[in-house]
Amino acid sequence: MAKLNYKRLTYISIGDVSEVAFRELEKQKGISKGEIRDLAWYRYGKYAAQPLIVFLRDGRIFKIRTRKGKILIEKIK
């Protein structure tokens, strides 16, 4: 997912996301909750395959998704 189709994003608040996602973000990439500007679900395909898009204040964008029971964090921008 190199480009984001912004029409498919559904923005949510930090309280709507499980703490597990934030712990993995902190553990794998060293990013705390204070650095997050926006969160959004990327709606496409199956509901279970919809990744969480994290927009940081410094302009970086990460995708959080699951694969075979593991949480994967990929840098988009």
Question: pLDDT confidence of 21, banded at 50, 70, 90?
Answer: confident
Q: Residue 11: what pLDDT? A: 92
User: How many domains would you assign to the chain?
Assistant: 1
Taking the C-alpha atoms of residue 20 and residue 6, their distance in angstroms, rounded to an integer, is 25
Q: What is the pLDDT of residues 28-75, one digit of tens each?
A: 888 888 899 999 998 876 666 788 899 999 999 999 988 888 888 888
- What are the strands of the beta sheet with 36-42, ordered from one edge? 9-12, 36-42, 52-56, 61-67, 70-75
User: Is 1 part of a structural domain of the chain?
Assistant: no
Please give the residue range of the domain that contains residue 60.
6-75
Q: What is the mean pLDDT of residues 13-37?
A: 89
User: Is 59 part of a structural domain of the chain?
Assistant: yes
